[in-house]
């Protein structure tokens, strides 16, 4: 068993390193590496990914393991599980971390089962007990409670982390790059990727966005959502929606925030014509600053926000967009 | 076509969560229990596939205390054919890995299956691992978080659509396979009155801890329950977020907008 802490890089469809990886490296360095007396390492899985090692170094990785294999070009649960579990068996790290993304959630359970590790998902806090067991905090019961979960003696200890919670912080290192070749038999990969469709959007992704503007049922139609998009674009935000807005057919499901939608934690969340149901709050309650705009002064959201304006959105939102534009133009 | 649906009972989404006196779990007093919403998509999809093929069998399986039979009855009333209830109070706190092993053993006992469906995550603990662990345990492929399911005409393959960050993926796996279901896949039906009546007569097999051969699962007896878990919850808290609650009322629109932007810049420092 080594004292290494691994952060496995999460890549976008375009093969870029996701912010969640830098967040994981930064938090692991701040909260785990020193206490454990261990080395912080990055792991890259994919095809043609060696060049990304220096990016992991920029956020503190002292060593980067690279498995560069043609069979890892498209993500498949089999390929990634084999690659990572064999690597873990060989080097026996103490802790293994990745982002709680659609990919991380998909293969980490399989890897944990293969190497006999404990695994928690979607951690919002990382720490070590005095005897060096991993201790995480995570939401349970749709953000209505936070559990502190301590690992018992199973090793390695694995967790995924919620994107956008930890602060990325550069810590320039020139990492030692270790190329590993893991034998992956093509016949063991049963999943076939038929098609990958990219979403054409100039706005940030909801789960990674630093600012989000969301619209609810009170938007009254899909056409009116231009008000949300204009405001979002003025401040570089992602655009979201409540379930009522999605179910009414105003906007697609991928924009839904909440218990049965996306879980987000931006610095700034602006909820427009959203009443503030428990289910919506479950998806955005961990935002740092919540702003509510609603015409009903008794709307529950006014009991859960930092700033609010009681007003009709159709008058207020255009004015607000103008104010933001004016302010940001001055810079 | 034999389709297994793994379902789980969870507290109603409106439930007010109180921490029990133990400090590490919830107080279940007065809680209303429902079928985990994502599992409803799984049940609906299984029934739809059976209806489309005009033949087949839908078997529900759950693990948990006596109350969980209600979740099974709901699924049976929607149209599933039979159910298995792995029943014991001491299962609370069993870790997802052990749960999957036990569920896997029961599924193996069915004498073959074609498809396993479950929710993408439970809405209570939200650890989101059981489904994929079951697939790993049974040595079959999985596709997670699916929003569209298409069975090949020879019933040997399934092609699914799933949402990922920044796009959509269409993937294909051979059967048997496990799929975890996402919202948008279908609209779960409500149980009809005749459905509810019929459900009462449908078979629910009970499995008790004595029926579980832990050794063949590579587990110890202690693995079922907290004693054998790989982690434990040491504390459960209700988050106390202090919000500022500064609400601007009865202001003219331009002034209200100006005031808000000023607060966000100077006080909250987020713009
Ligand atoms: C199992 C389950 C899961 C769920 N999951 C989710 C989820 O993931 N996400 C989610 O959001 N919901 C979810 N819901 C639904 C949730 O309970 C609410 O129904 C939903 O959030 C309401 O959306 P809303 O606030 O847009 O609509 P409403 O509650 O109808 O609120 C609309 C608001 O708009 C205001 N308004 C109207 N017109 C104007 C105007 N011109 N100017 C300003 N304000 C105006 C109104 O005063 C009102 O407060 C779920 C429910 C269940 C049962
Ligand atoms: C931190 C922690 C706290 C816990 N606290 C409690 C507690 O207070 N009370 C308690 O009873 N247990 C508790 N447990 C045990 C808990 O029941 C299992 O960990 C849980 O079932 C794991 O499921 P999951 O969240 O991974 O399910 P997920 O993987 O999120 O669920 C996916 C699907 O798996 C299926 N599934 C999950 N569990 C079951 C099951 N038991 N039977 C049938 N299908 C299932 C469902 O269909 C579900 O949609 C706790 C576990 C952990 C790790």
A15 in the same domain as A161 = yes
Specify which residues B248 forms β-bridges with: A309
> Cβ contact (<8 Å) for A105 and B173?
no
> Cβ contact (<8 Å) for A192 and B172?
yes
- Based on the number of CB atoms within 10 Å of its own CB, is A213 exposed (0-12), middle (13-18) or buried (19 or more)? buried
Probe site for chain B from A75, A110, A113, A272 (most B CB atoms < 10 A): A113
A301 in the same domain as A222 = yes
* Nearest residue to A191 (alpha-carbon basis) of A254, A96, A101, A107: A107
Q: Do the domain assignments include residue A35?
A: yes
Q: Do the domain assignments include residue A55?
A: yes
Q: Do the domain assignments include residue A201?
A: no
Q: Is B7 in the pocket of ligand 2 (CB under 6 A)?
A: yes
> Mean pLDDT over all residues of chain A?
94
A157 in the same domain as A216 = no
Q: Do the domain assignments include residue A194?
A: no
pTM: 0.87
Of B141, B247, B264, the CB nearest to A302: B247
- Based on the number of CB atoms within 10 Å of its own CB, is A330 exposed (0-12), middle (13-18) or buried (19 or more)? exposed
A125 in the same domain as A231 = no
> Domain of A213: which CATH number?
3.40.50.1220
Taking the Cβ of residue B218 and every Cβ of chain A, the question of whether any pair is shorter than 8 Å is answered with no
Q: What percent of chain A has pLDDT over 90?
A: 85
Q: Residue B95 has which token pair? A: 């870790």
pLDDT bucket at A4, cuts 50 / 70 / 90: very high
Ligand nearest to the CA of B10: 2
The pLDDT assigned to B163 comes to 86
Structural contact between residues A53 and A17, judged by C-beta atoms closer than 8 angstroms: no
Structural domain spans, chain B? 2-228, 241-271
Q: Say whether pLDDT at A58 is over 70.
A: yes
Specify which residues A292 forms β-bridges with: A271, A308
Structural contact between residues A212 and A258, judged by C-beta atoms closer than 8 angstroms: no
Question: Mean pLDDT across the stretch A201-221?
Answer: 94
Q: Residue B193 has which token pair? A: 């009155």
A17 in the same domain as A161 = yes
- What is the rounded end-to-end Cα distance, in angstroms, of chain B? 57
Q: Is B11 in the pocket of ligand 1 (CB under 6 A)?
A: no
Q: Look up residue B190 and give its DSSP letter.
A: P
A215 in the same domain as A173 = no
Q: Do the domain assignments include residue A15?
A: yes
- CATH superfamily, domain B2-228, is HUPs (3.40.50.620)
The pLDDT assigned to B97 comes to 83
Condensed to tens digits (0 to 9), the pLDDT of residues A104-155 reads 999 999 999 999 898 999 999 999 999 999 999 998 877 778 999 999 876 7
Q: Say whether pLDDT at A303 is over 90.
A: yes
Condensed to tens digits (0 to 9), the pLDDT of residues A147-200 reads 999 998 767 999 999 998 999 999 989 999 999 999 999 999 999 999 999 888
A210 in the same domain as A176 = no
> Domain of A155: which CATH number?
3.40.50.620
Q: Say whether pLDDT at A69 is over 70.
A: yes
A144 in the same domain as A106 = yes
A142 in the same domain as A60 = yes
A133 in the same domain as A90 = yes
Our count of domains for chain A comes to: 2
- What is the rounded end-to-end Cα distance, in angstroms, of chain A? 52
Closest residue by CA, ligand 1 atom 38 = A218
Structural contact between residues B24 and B48, judged by C-beta atoms closer than 8 angstroms: no
Q: Is A312 in the pocket of ligand 1 (CB under 6 A)?
A: yes
Which residues of chain B fall short of a pLDDT of 70? 90-93, 122-127, 220-228
A150 in the same domain as A63 = yes
Q: Say whether pLDDT at A259 is over 90.
A: no
Q: Look up residue B78 and give its DSSP letter.
A: H
Of A114, A208, A289, the CB nearest to B270: A289
For residues B25, B26, B29, B30, the Cα torsion angle rounded to the nearest 10 degrees is -160
Q: Give the whole-angstrom CA distance, residue A123 versus residue A104.
A: 13
The pLDDT assigned to A219 comes to 98
Of A18, A152, A267, the CB nearest to B270: A267
Nearest CA in chain B to A123: B127
**Other C-beta atoms lying within 10 Å of the C-beta of residue A92:** 14
Q: Do the domain assignments include residue A197?
A: no
How many whole angstroms from B194 Cα to the centroid of ligand 2?
Answer: 31
Q: Give the whole-angstrom CA distance, residue B181 versus residue B5.
A: 11
Q: Say whether pLDDT at A309 is over 80.
A: yes
Q: Do the domain assignments include residue A49?
A: yes
Structural contact between residues A160 and A111, judged by C-beta atoms closer than 8 angstroms: no
Please state whether beta strands B33-35 and B9-11 pair in parallel, antiparallel, or not at all (unpaired): antiparallel
> Cβ contact (<8 Å) for B247 and A297?
yes
Q: Residue B119 has which token pair? A: 């929710």
Q: Say whether pLDDT at A314 is over 80.
A: yes
Query: Pick the residue with more confidence: A293 or B22?
Result: A293
The pLDDT assigned to B264 comes to 97
Q: Give the residue numbers spanning the domain of A290.
A: 206-329
A269 in the same domain as A215 = yes
CB neighbours of A282 closer than 8 A, spacing ≥ 6?
A142, A143, A144, A258, A259, A263, B13
Look at residue B197 and give its three-state secondary structure: helix
């Amino acid at each position: 068993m080594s004292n290494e802490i691994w952060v496995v890089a999460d890549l976008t469809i375009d093969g870029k390193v996701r912010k969640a990886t830098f967040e994981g490296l930064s938090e692991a360095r701040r909260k785990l590496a020193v206490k454990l007396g261990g080395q912080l390492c990055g792991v890259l899985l994919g095809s043609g990914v060696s060049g990304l090692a220096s990016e992991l170094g920029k956020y503190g990785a002292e060593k980067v393991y690279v498995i560069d294999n043609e069979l890892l070009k498209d993500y498949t649960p089999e390929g990634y599980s084999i690659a990572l579990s064999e690597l873990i068996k060989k080097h026996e790290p103490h802790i293994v971390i990745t982002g709680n993304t659609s990919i991380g959630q998909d293969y980490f359970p399989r890897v944990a089962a293969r190497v006999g590790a404990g695994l928690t998902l979607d951690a919002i806090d990382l720490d070590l007990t005095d005897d060096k067991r991993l201790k995480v905090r995570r939401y349970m019961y749709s953000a209505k409670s936070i559990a502190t979960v301590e690992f018992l003696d199973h090793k390695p200890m694995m967790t995924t982390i919620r994107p956008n919670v930890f602060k990325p912080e550069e810590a320039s290192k020139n990492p030692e790059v270790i190329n590993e070749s893991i034998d992956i038999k093509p016949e063991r990969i049963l999943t076939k990727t038929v098609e990958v469709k990219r979403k054409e959007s100039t706005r940030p992704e909801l789960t990674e966005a630093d600012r989000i503007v969301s619209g609810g049922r009170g938007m009254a139609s899909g056409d009116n959502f231009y008000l949300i998009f204009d405001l979002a674009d003025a401040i570089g935000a992602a655009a979201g929606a409540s379930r009522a807005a999605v179910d009414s057919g105003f906007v697609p499901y991928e924009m839904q925030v909440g218990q049965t939608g996306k879980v987000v934690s931006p610095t700034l969340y602006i909820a427009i014509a959203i009443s503030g149901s428990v289910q919506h709050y479950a998806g955005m309650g961990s935002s740092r600053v919540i702003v509510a705009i609603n015409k009903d002064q008794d709307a529950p959201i006014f009991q859960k926000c930092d700033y609010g304006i009681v007003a009709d959105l159709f008058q207020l939102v255009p004015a607000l967009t103008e104010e933001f534009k004016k302010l940001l133009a001055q810079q | 076509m034999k389709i297994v649906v793994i379902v789980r009972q969870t507290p109603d989404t409106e439930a007010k969560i109180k921490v029990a006196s133990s400090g590490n779990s919830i107080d279940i007093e007065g809680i209303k229990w429902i079928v985990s919403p994502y599992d409803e998509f799984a049940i609906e999809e299984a029934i739809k596939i059976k209806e489309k093929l005009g033949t087949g069998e839908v078997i529900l399986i759950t693990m948990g205390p006596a109350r969980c039979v209600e979740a099974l009855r709901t699924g049976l009333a929607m149209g599933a054919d039979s159910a298995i209830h792995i029943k014991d109070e001491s299962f609370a706190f069993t870790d997802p890995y052990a749960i999957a092993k036990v569920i896997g053993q029961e599924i193996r006992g069915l004498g073959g299956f074609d498809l396993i469906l479950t929710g993408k995550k439970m809405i209570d603990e939200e650890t989101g691992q059981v489904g994929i662990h079951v697939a790993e345990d049974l040595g079959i492929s999985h596709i997670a978080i699916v929003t569209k399911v298409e069975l090949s005409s020879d019933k040997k393959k399934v092609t699914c659509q799933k949402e990922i960050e920044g796009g959509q993926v269409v993937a294909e796996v051979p059967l048997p396979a496990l799929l975890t279901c996402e919202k948008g896949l279908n609209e779960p039906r409500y149980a009809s009155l005749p459905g509810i009546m019929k459900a009462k007569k449908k078979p629910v097999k009970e499995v008790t801890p004595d029926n579980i051969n832990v050794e063949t699962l590579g587990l110890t007896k202690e693995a079922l329950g907290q004693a054998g878990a790989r982690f434990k919850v040491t504390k459960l808290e209700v988050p106390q977020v202090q919000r500022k609650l500064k609400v601007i009322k009865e202001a003219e629109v331009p002034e209200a907008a100006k005031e808000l932007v000023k607060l966000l810049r100077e006080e909250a420092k987020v713009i």
